[in-house]
Every structure is written in structure tokens, then in C-alpha cells.
Structure 1
Amino acid sequence: MGRSKLEKFATIAERDNVVQDGNEKYGQLKGKWRSEQFGNNNPIVLEIGCGRGEYTVGMARLHPEKNYIGVDIKGNRIWKGSTLAVEEGLENVAFLRTFIETITDHFAEGEIDEIWITFPDPRPKDRDIKRRLTSPRFQELYSYLLKHDGIIHLKTDNGPLFDYTLEVLQERKIKHLVSTHDLYNSDLQEHTMGIYTTYEKRYLAEGIAIKYLQYKPVKES
């Protein structure tokens, strides 16, 4: 492991805006993120597989009236978003370093108001279908996390993943689904707040259309 990566790990281990295994808040905030992490009662928006946290931080800049949490397992990536939040004094941003599969260990049912899934790994091989972040097993987790009428968003450059996700949603109880295979030539751009990740800029420069959808899971009574 390179020195730079070790230094980043050491830095985020000491930061209040990063919750990870080894610090006192890890596993202790379930149902208490608003009161104990943010000190307010504002809505919580989750970014799944946040990478460098560009979307998490970008949304937090635009909406100080909401709390934003980026979730990823890669500490060197989280370091970037965490650093931006510290440098800009954004107190409505936090990062949770954990595997997405364990996310219900860290949030109570209905604790989340909104979920973003931004440019996830498409996992194209058939043996990896269950690992796709829009697969049925993950949809179950998201439905548990979201409050009634909570919204899920997906942005991706990958057509097969997007079409797969639409097929998954057709088999689930959802409402208010809107989608487009070409976000920036559609009337749905306003929903993405003009935030572009590094990868997204690269895809657009290469002429790759960005796909987008949003919907509301139907919560079982």
C-alpha cells in the first residue's frame, strides 16, 4: 500500500465527518443520524457508492437545509469528498465507510428521505447480477431505508445496466417512475441539479449519453 493512501486513511480516521469501523460512532448511529451526527432534524439524502463524494458534496453545497451522507467502502476515495467538505465548511455532509450490503446495520427503517445511485459499477457478467446496486436484493434494502414517499434516483452511462434496472422495476411495486436514455436532451435535467462527476464529464466528452431515472418504492404496510 502506497504512502499516500496510508496518509489518507490516517486522516479520515480522525475526521468527524467520516464514520468507519474503528471509531466510536460506527454502528451506533442507527436511527440517530440527525440528532447525533448533524444536530438537526433535516431530511437525509444518501448517495450509494459515492466514490470521491462529488455528488454528495455538490448536493450539500446547493441544499444546506438537507443532510447528505455518502456511502462507500474505499477510504482513499472518501478522503476526497471528506476533504472538500472540511475545506468548504460544509457541516451537512458525512461519509459512511462500509459495504452497501450491510447498510441496514447503520440506518433505521424509514430514516432516509432520498437515495442517489450515481454511476455504479455495471457488473456486466451474469454471475455478478446480484452484486448490481439496482438488483432486487439491493432494492429491498433501499425500500427499507426510505421513508414513505421517499425517492430513488439513478444516473449511469451504461445502457445494459439501465435497461436491466427498468426490467427489475417493472416487477416491483413502484410509483411515479420517470426515465430517459438521454438525460441532457430531455426535460429531466432539473432533477440532477447541474452536478457532474469527473466520470460523467468524461463520458459526455466522448459522446456517451447519460441515462437517468427516478421512482418511489411502494412501502408495504
Structure 2
Amino acid sequence: MRLRHKPWAKDKLAEYSSVVIPNPSDYKGKWHEIFDNNHPIHIEVGTGKGQFITGMAKLYPEVNYIGIELQVSVIVGALDRIIEDSLPNCKLLNVNAEELSTFFENGEVDRVYLNFSDPWPKNKHLKRRLTYKHFLDIYKNILVKNGEIHFKTDNQGLFEYSLTSFSEYGLLLKYVSLDLHNSEFEGNIMTEYEEKFSSIGNRIYRSEVQFQL
């Protein structure tokens, strides 16, 4: 599906610089200054229009959330949600996930969420998958000791690949669900894609994995 261009979106992001943080590398190691507290920091890589991260921010005000999204015309939707709900514990970065180590100090992040990432199904694009070992290296660097990745997708192939990638990397598989919406898991906050795919009968897969020293 083609992404609709929103020529005004970039100006709106700049207008709300207290939410969409400009020059995020300036705050590496100092994100608690942005939030003015020492609460845990959770980031979502590929936050889309922000339904998940704003839902989490409302449910857990004692956690600081940062949504990472590269597409300007998409992240502006997340900005609208944060403005509407007045969420001081939710910020956004309009940056590439490849550069996370530029914006976060080692051990600065407590948890990473990966929700309905692009599956990149062709083998030649394997290195673009957000659960590829290169990205796992990045997450490991910015996460605290024993930090976690929480991962959801409706794509069985990506889920199977990701479980293998996690295992080969040496991560601890703490939770695996092959059918989240028919499980006993409580407190699930759905993303926009999750609502769409589950409404047409797609099974939702979920895992929680933990880095180990």
C-alpha cells in the first residue's frame, strides 16, 4: 500500500519539538533529563501511528516511552495521539533504527518493543529484518543488563526466523505464544496493524526474550 505524502507533516514535527525530539544525539546518556525523572525507558522500534506506544504510556505512567519511526507522514499520526492524550511520558524520534547507538548510551534503555515489523521476506533482504543479528547487537548495546525485547507479528515466517535468530544469539526465550489472542496473556495493547490483521482472522504471534551476560 502506497504511503500518502503529507507535505505539512515535517513542519508539524518541528512545531512540537518537545515531543518529537530534534537532534536526539545531544541527549545520549541524558534522556532522563528530557522526562525529568528516573523512570525506566522503553522504546518501540517502528512505532507507526503510535496506537501501541500511547496505549502503553497511558497504562503505565511510571515508565518513559520513546517511539522510533523513520517515515515523517506516519510518525505525525503518533504525534497527534500524544498531543490529544497529553502524555508527558511519551516522546518520539524521527530517525533510522540503524542509528540507535548514536542516540542512546550503553545500558540506557530497559526494554525494546518490535511490533509488526516489515518481514522483508526475500532472502536477499534478510539483513534488513529488525531481528537480524546486526540489530540484536544494537539492542544489546543500548539495553540494561538482562534487558528484554518484546516482539509481535502476524507473519509466521518472520516469527520462526526471529525465534531462530534469538536462540542463535543466545537470548533467553521467556515467553512464546503462537496464538496471542486465544491465549491467557493479559494486558495486550494492540497496534493498528494488529487490529487490522486479527480482524481478518490472522493469527498473532508474540515472544519475550532476554539478553544474558
TM-score normalised by L of structure 1: 0.91
- Which contiguous aligned blocks of 4+ residues in structure 1 show a shift greater than 4 angstroms? none
The one-letter code sitting in structure 2 at the alignment partner of 1:171 is E
The one-letter code sitting in structure 2 at the alignment partner of 1:42 is H
Aligned equivalents of 2:188 and 2:152: distance in 1?
13
Which of 103-112 and 167-176 deviates more? 167-176
Match of 2:154 in 1: 157
Aligned equivalents of 1:170 and 1:39: distance in 2?
37
Give 5+ residue unaligned stretches, structure 1: none
RMSD: 1.6
Q: Deviations over 1:96-137 (max 9, x none)?
A: 111111110000000001110000000000110000000110
Asked if structure 1 preserves the Cα contact closer than 8 Å seen for 2:4 and 2:73, the reply is: no
Aligned equivalents of 2:122 and 2:173: distance in 1?
30
Identify which of 192, 195, 198 aligns with 2:192: 198
Asked if structure 1 preserves the Cα contact closer than 8 Å seen for 2:167 and 2:173, the reply is: no
Aligned equivalents of 1:216 and 1:34: distance in 2?
23
Aligned equivalents of 2:167 and 2:57: distance in 1?
32
Aligned equivalents of 2:192 and 2:81: distance in 1?
15
Identify which of 101, 104, 108 aligns with 1:107: 104
Aligned equivalents of 2:154 and 2:173: distance in 1?
22
Residue 134 (1) aligns with residue 128 (2):
no
Q: How many equivalent pairs are there?
A: 210
Residue 65 (1) aligns with residue 56 (2):
no
Match of 1:8 in 2: 9
Change (3 A) 1:117 1:130: same
Aligned equivalents of 1:202 and 1:3: distance in 2?
18
Aligned equivalents of 2:159 and 2:80: distance in 1?
31
Aligned equivalents of 2:201 and 2:157: distance in 1?
17
How far did residue 72 of structure 1 move?
1.0
Aligned equivalents of 2:128 and 2:4: distance in 1?
31
Match of 2:20 in 1: 18
Please state whether the residue corresponding to 2:26 is helix, strand or coil: coil
How far did residue 54 of structure 1 move?
1.3
Please state whether the residue corresponding to 1:18 is helix, strand or coil: coil
Q: Deviations over 1:37-62 (max 9, x none)?
A: 11111100000111111111110010
Change (3 A) 1:4 1:132: closer
Q: Percent identity?
A: 35
The one-letter code sitting in structure 2 at the alignment partner of 1:17 is V
Please state whether the residue corresponding to 1:5 is helix, strand or coil: coil
How far did residue 176 of structure 1 move?
4.5
Aligned equivalents of 1:92 and 1:178: distance in 2?
27
Please state whether the residue corresponding to 2:24 is helix, strand or coil: coil
Give 5+ residue unaligned stretches, structure 2: none
